[in-house]
């Protein structure tokens, strides 16, 4: 109820200012669980993808979005909380595993769960190497992974900026991907998770057209911080 109410209240405002467009919405199943795997350019990704889908979708968002005292991010936090997005403390491997287990429970109950395979926002608009979590979810749930590309959200709210700018946003949704062949193979679990994560990221890149960087986004952020 709160999810639909928040969309009803915020929807006209968000649509009017940013005129979001969605392509490929027919690839989202009407019922049943599925994993939505998206590139990650801005906190706005977690706002506009749930807004533009008919079905509720839950994302895991870092806890700072919910606790920030900056006016713009505080509004984002209110919307993320109202639409049922998960607040996740990303410190430590255990926190990441708990997030995946919580996501698996949602998927098994027939819900949609959104994940950012890169693990964090891109620092420069390029597409970075996927973390294996999306592979873990695909293998343990047996559900399809639907690739998603967010376009333009980094121009609306770039990292480090608190107040959104005006701009046009597009969401591109690809065909569902299944990995029965990998699940049924004899590869070690770690290699299977990595193979799925790499395939999903390739599909996202085809939708987004982003330049690919063969390193983790978090490592690139550390490099930028050291050079600052």
CATH number of the domain enclosing 155: 3.40.1130.10
From the list 199, 37, 47, 189, the residue with the least C-alpha distance to 119 is: 37
Q: According to the model, what pLDDT value does residue 97 have? A: 80
Q: How far is CA 55 from the centre of its chain?
A: 15
User: Is the distance from CB of 150 to CB of 117 less than 8 angstroms?
Assistant: no
Q: According to the model, what pLDDT value does residue 93 have? A: 61
Give the residue ranges of DSSP H helices in the chain: 2-18, 45-52, 64-67, 71-82, 93-108, 133-141, 153-156, 180-184, 189-208, 217-227
3-state secondary structure (DSSP) of residue 182 = helix
The residue segments making up the domain with residue 171 are: 2-227
Give pLDDT < 70 ranges for the chain: 1-13, 16-17, 61-93, 95, 228
For the record, the structure tokens of 215 come out as: 């390193």
Q: According to the model, what pLDDT value does residue 12 have? A: 66
| Rg over CA atoms, the chain | 17
Q: According to the model, what pLDDT value does residue 2 have? A: 46
First to last CA, the chain: 45
Q: How far is CA 99 from the centre of its chain?
A: 13
Task: Please state the domain count of the chain.
Answer: 1
Measured in residues, the chain has a length of 228
């Amino acid at each position: 109820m709160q999810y639909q109410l928040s969309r009803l209240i915020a929807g006209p405002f968000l649509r009017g200012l940013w005129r979001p467009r969605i392509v490929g919405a027919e690839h989202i199943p009407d019922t049943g669980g599925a994993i939505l795997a998206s590139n990650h350019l801005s906190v706005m990704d977690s706002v506009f993808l749930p807004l533009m889908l008919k079905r509720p979708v839950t994302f895991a968002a870092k806890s700072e979005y919910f606790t920030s005292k900056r006016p713009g991010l505080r509004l984002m936090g209110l919307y993320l909380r109202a639409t049922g997005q998960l607040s996740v403390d990303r410190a430590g491997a255990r926190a990441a595993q708990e997030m995946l287990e919580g996501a698996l429970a949602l998927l098994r109950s027939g819900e949609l769960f959104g994940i950012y395979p890169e693990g964090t926002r891109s620092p420069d608009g390029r597409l970075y190497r996927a973390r294996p979590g999306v592979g873990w979810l695909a293998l343990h749930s047996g559900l399809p992974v639907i690739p998603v590309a967010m376009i333009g959200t980094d121009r609306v709210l770039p990292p480090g900026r608190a107040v959104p700018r005006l701009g046009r946003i597009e969401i591109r949704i690809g065909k569902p991907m299944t990995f029965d062949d990998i699940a049924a193979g004899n590869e070690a679990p770690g290699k299977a998770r990595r193979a799925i994560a790499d395939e999903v990221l390739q599909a996202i890149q085809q939708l987004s057209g982003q330049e690919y960087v063969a390193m983790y986004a978090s490592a690139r952020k550390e490099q930028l911080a050291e050079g600052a």
